[in-house]
Structure 1
Amino acid sequence: MKTNQLVMAVAVAAALAGCAGLGGRERLVKAPPRCVETAVQIYFQPGSHELTDEGRTVLAQAASETAGCEIERVVVMGLADAEGAPAANLELSKRRAQTVTAALAAVKLPAAEFRLAAAGEQGAVTAAGAEPLRRRVDVILQMRPPK
């Protein structure tokens, strides 16, 4: 038992000595980059433009991560899958983009230039015939550190 404790103590001491030679904690643990372009995706139920609880959470988190940053532009792209008529899918993707834009304002995203777009079902079916998940809005937050 004492041998195991001695071996453990030596191992811990060696590990600590090795860490000290690396230049300290700041070289091992780095804060994530702040105020860089960030993209989030907000998913919707089929045929719906209502924000889900998960979507609200994602938007609130994205907005909180912009604290202290200068927001240059917010790009909001509404998408839809290929179910239904193309005109209805385009309208649905527009409503989704509008819903997300309003939700971003509600979570107090700093003022920025907003660019809204809607693609409808365009690109929903690939050449191979696959239908990727497209019931979403893509949000790109373009930001930089404050001046």
Structure 2
Amino acid sequence: MVGSSENQIRALIRLLADENERIVKTISGKLVEIGDTAVPLLQEAEIEQPEMARRIEEILDEIRGSRLEDDLRTLAAYPDDRVDLETGAFLIARYGYPNLDVQAYGRQLDTMATEVRDRMGPRCSIGAPVFRSACRSSTCSWGGVSACR
């Protein structure tokens, strides 16, 4: 049912109000199958129809979970030396915070990394033990974020 029209998705969402649990389960499955295309309309319905919020939130969680599983499988398929920890951390964070601005946090991490590199100077290549030591001996706060304490 991928490629469903907005009207079809809205009709399915209306059917979530049905009292028959089998119908609701079937409709929920179809909306999960549609996936990301249904998300904005589900979010809209969640606000407009608070009596269906619990059902809608369960569907949204299922869609997010499926997307997260696919993305994590893709990431895990890379050789160990090519896995990007930052990408993995943001994948997990996006599950709990679907509207997370990953790029903004990525820029903040880049700024922090540059500042740590500047503070550590030539010792930077020594690695994590030096980072922890340098961090404990300085204020270790960037953009309102405190670390290493």
For normalisation by structure 1, the TM-score amounts to: 0.29
Bigger relative contact order (CA 8 A; separation at least 6): 1
Structure with more of its chain in helix, by fraction = 2
Structure with more of its chain in strand, by fraction = 1
Higher-Rg structure is 1
